[in-house]
Structure 1
Amino acid sequence: MGTIIDPAPGEHVAMLRKARGWTQTQLSDRASVSTSLLSKIEVGDRALTPEVAAALGRAFGTSMADVLGRASVAADDEQLLAQLRSAMRDYDMPDPQAAPENRVTAGLQTADRFRDAADVAALIILLPGLLRSATTYAHTANTPQAWSALADVYSTVYWLAARHRWMDMAELAVTRQRWAVEQQPNPVAEAFSSRDRAGTYLNFGDVERGLVVVDRAIAAVQSAPLGAADRDLAVGILNLRGMTLAGRLQDKAEGKREAQRHIDSAWRAARSFPRDIDAHGLTFGPRNTFTHVLATQVDLGRPRDALALTDDLGQALEGLPPTRVAPTRINAARAQLDLGDRDGALENLSHAFDAAPRWPASTPWAAKYCVSWPPCTAAPTPN
């Protein structure tokens, strides 16, 4: 995707601060954020978390999304985004020509591969046509499976939008996702949609309400007529979101209690799966639970507990997609930095860089992005 090089989030904060003529001390006082942390954020030594971004937004008198800054796109990609937004507007307008189930299935499989590889350039080409096909298929078939497939497409739209901080599109995507799963009873798909809805609260720094969404969804799953495996899958995927939210609570004592509750439940659910499984574009099982627990322990200020989860991080991450390997390596590096192990942190950051998804510049654009997706026939030249 021809994404323009935008200022880093911390640099963007500094720009907003200087535009108001404020010093770092003045901003930190208004936002109730330490000057030391603000200084590190502005120079890129610390990540700008949604919670801090929300606090800075209140101080600036603007939205958290404006503080984070929206990722810009090149002019050629604006047309692709316009096509995606148009397909989202037409959520209740199926095409006159039928969309075969196998086309939608193939498109979802391709979208999952692109998502695992964080191949946003491919997704932005794929999604408008896939969304229209899935919309037509859902309206025509009118089965729980068909509506669930449409919800899965909206989940991928949410992932793409949240990644680029297009918060309006992200919120619309989860609203459409919830609408789709409510057309026919499907408790598992509803749980996955709640997981994404809770993610919008996480993105806006409102972790308390995000936890409410998760807990309500878990209660609904536990009372639904489901088999043990489906129940564990739905509860487990919600627990992963719950522990992430809990790790971001400002009250760390409460965060530890809430996180441990979700961690314990996630491990119990993971026992039903000898290995990780893919469902609705997401992954659940023992190894993905491990990566979430490690990240949560780091967020809670427990670096030793995080690093004690495994003696061989490489083996623990073997076979996981780059979108999970790279962040876990970074989280391990955060824990090592907290313990003063700069050499170990540098090694993990090097592994994270190596794991980060990329593709050869020589790969033909259309050949790469249009595999298994017949409607994708007019891919643009990459920027």
Structure 2
Amino acid sequence: MGNSTGLAPGAHLAVLRKERGLTQRQLARLANISVSLLSKIEVGDRALTPAVAADVGRAMGLSMAEVLGRTAVTRSGEERLAALRSAVRDYDLPGRRPVPGDALGAALATAGRLRDNVDVDRLLVMLPALLRDATTHAHTVNSAEGWMLLSEVYSTVYWLAARHRWMDMAELAVTRQRWAVEQKTNPLGRAIAARDRAGAYLNGGDFEGGLTVVDRAIGQAQADLSGQERAFAVGLLNLRGMTLAGRLKDKREGRKEAERHIRSAQEAAAWFDRDWNRHSMIFGPRNTVTHVLATRLDLGRPREALRMAEDLDAALEDLPPTRVGPSYVNLARARLDVGDREGALTALADACEAAPQLARIHPMAREVFRVLSSLHRRSNPALLRLSKLSGIPM
């Protein structure tokens, strides 16, 4: 992959700026941020947040994902990634041998477990063949269920690509996902596809555009679905909406939009006693709490996020590592924001323990670790242990 980097986001930003011949003062002026903030981010005294990454990205003609840096893969990973790209290209070229639906369902369930556990290495191994089989099955049976299975595979391709900031593949995956669910009427599949499409806007740093996609999809889901299925679809979309709103540059508008989506998500969550996991999507009361915590943090309110985190362990109960890991990363970021370095280190260690591979590819996990390493200024046994556990270099 081009532009892959082993650097944490803040260090990567410094490289991008220098490659473009910009001084810190020039970039800060273009991005409408303070020179002091930019300097602290580059030297490792402050974490590069997604919102600031979007600001400096626009100033340099880059997406937020490009500023955060694509995750590099091994040589064998490159070969598997090429195989996955080939399978995505062949979206309308089914194989000649039939694929039994029960075998495909079992393989998709395995992929779902790998996704939930953030086992990205094994997921990349199995996705090319799974996508080809799902393509063949959907074209063969030509049913709403068959196309939904294919759509779910594309959703997983999007998820894997977005986690690594392979945004060209992520955007192609959401296009294919939408195409699949449109082959046969499937309102829930359409809502999930819109949620993932808005995620591509999120990773690109176009938060306003993503909110437009979300609001339109919410209206459609409310019209086309009913009962818990409608609550599930509307809830998922509102989780995406609050995340987008929390990263708007205008924080007053962001707070207003975020609170609107938070209220709607909480109303939808009231339909559920426990979180549903459907089509590799999770929604319910507990996952709503984790998203609200992250949104408070993105809005620049770390103390509010920390107050919510007092019951975080209870909120994370029964949620898979794909939600547990990022929640502890957000807790680490909140503690770092209020100056609690040891608490941040403990939370980051919890994130690594819950989802070791996530810590290696999650930009904020890498960024918090970089800042903690910089602030400690000397060897720290806890940092060394965390470096070995996560694979993030000191």
TM-score bin (small chain): 0.7 to 0.9
Query: Which amino acid letter does the alignment assign opposite residue 211 of structure 1?
Result: L
What SS class does the counterpart of residue 309 from structure 1 fall into? Answer: helix
Cα deviation code 1:110-155 (max 9, x no counterpart): 1111111211111111101000111111111111111111011000
Q: After TM superposition, give the deviation of residue 50 of structure 1 in Å.
A: 4.3
What SS class does the counterpart of residue 183 from structure 2 fall into? Answer: coil
What SS class does the counterpart of residue 71 from structure 2 fall into? Answer: coil
Change (3 A) 1:221 1:352: same
Alignment of 1:214-293 (within 5 A): 214-224=214-224, 226-293=225-292
Please say if residues 247 and 259 of structure 1, whose CA atoms lie closer than 8 Å, have aligned partners that are also in contact.
yes
Alignment pair present for 1:40 and 2:40: yes
Q: TM-score, normalised by structure 2?
A: 0.85
Alignment of 1:313-328 (within 5 A): 313-328=312-327
Q: After TM superposition, give the deviation of residue 343 of structure 1 in Å.
A: 4.3
Please say if residues 51 and 204 of structure 1, whose CA atoms lie closer than 8 Å, have aligned partners that are also in contact.
no
Alignment of 1:1-383 (within 5 A): 6-224=6-224, 226-309=225-308, 311-357=310-356
Please say if residues 5 and 69 of structure 2, whose CA atoms lie closer than 8 Å, have aligned partners that are also in contact.
no
Please say if residues 322 and 357 of structure 1, whose CA atoms lie closer than 8 Å, have aligned partners that are also in contact.
no
Q: After TM superposition, give the deviation of residue 254 of structure 1 in Å.
A: 1.1
Query: Which amino acid letter does the alignment assign opposite residue 31 of structure 1?
Result: A
Change (3 A) 1:49 1:340: closer
Change (3 A) 1:43 1:123: farther
Alpha-carbon distance in structure 2 between the residues aligned to 1:7 and 1:335: 22
Cα deviation code 1:210-257 (max 9, x no counterpart): 000000000001111x33011000000001000101110111111111
Please say if residues 107 and 130 of structure 1, whose CA atoms lie closer than 8 Å, have aligned partners that are also in contact.
yes
Q: After TM superposition, give the deviation of residue 312 of structure 1 in Å.
A: 3.0
Please say if residues 5 and 12 of structure 2, whose CA atoms lie closer than 8 Å, have aligned partners that are also in contact.
no
Q: After TM superposition, give the deviation of residue 57 of structure 1 in Å.
A: 3.2
Q: Which blocks of at least 5 consecutive residues in structure 1 are unaligned?
A: 360-383
Q: TM-score, normalised by structure 1?
A: 0.87
Alpha-carbon distance in structure 2 between the residues aligned to 1:169 and 1:316: 33
Alpha-carbon distance in structure 2 between the residues aligned to 1:156 and 1:44: 33
Please say if residues 162 and 170 of structure 1, whose CA atoms lie closer than 8 Å, have aligned partners that are also in contact.
yes
Please say if residues 6 and 72 of structure 2, whose CA atoms lie closer than 8 Å, have aligned partners that are also in contact.
yes
Alpha-carbon distance in structure 2 between the residues aligned to 1:150 and 1:82: 19
Q: After TM superposition, give the deviation of residue 65 of structure 1 in Å.
A: 4.5
Question: Percent identity at matched positions?
Answer: 62
Q: After TM superposition, give the deviation of residue 310 of structure 1 in Å.
A: 5.3
Q: Which blocks of at least 5 consecutive residues in structure 2 are unaligned?
A: 359-394
Change (3 A) 1:62 1:238: closer
What SS class does the counterpart of residue 70 from structure 2 fall into? Answer: coil
Aligned length: 355
What SS class does the counterpart of residue 308 from structure 1 fall into? Answer: helix
**More helix as a share of residues:** 2
Alpha-carbon distance in structure 2 between the residues aligned to 1:130 and 1:282: 18
Alpha-carbon distance in structure 2 between the residues aligned to 1:65 and 1:326: 20
What SS class does the counterpart of residue 95 from structure 1 fall into? Answer: coil
Please say if residues 198 and 214 of structure 2, whose CA atoms lie closer than 8 Å, have aligned partners that are also in contact.
yes
What SS class does the counterpart of residue 272 from structure 2 fall into? Answer: coil
Change (3 A) 1:294 1:6: same
Q: After TM superposition, give the deviation of residue 31 of structure 1 in Å.
A: 2.1
Please say if residues 148 and 181 of structure 1, whose CA atoms lie closer than 8 Å, have aligned partners that are also in contact.
yes
Alpha-carbon distance in structure 2 between the residues aligned to 1:59 and 1:95: 45
Query: Which amino acid letter does the alignment assign opposite residue 232 of structure 1?
Result: A
Look up the match of 1:376: none
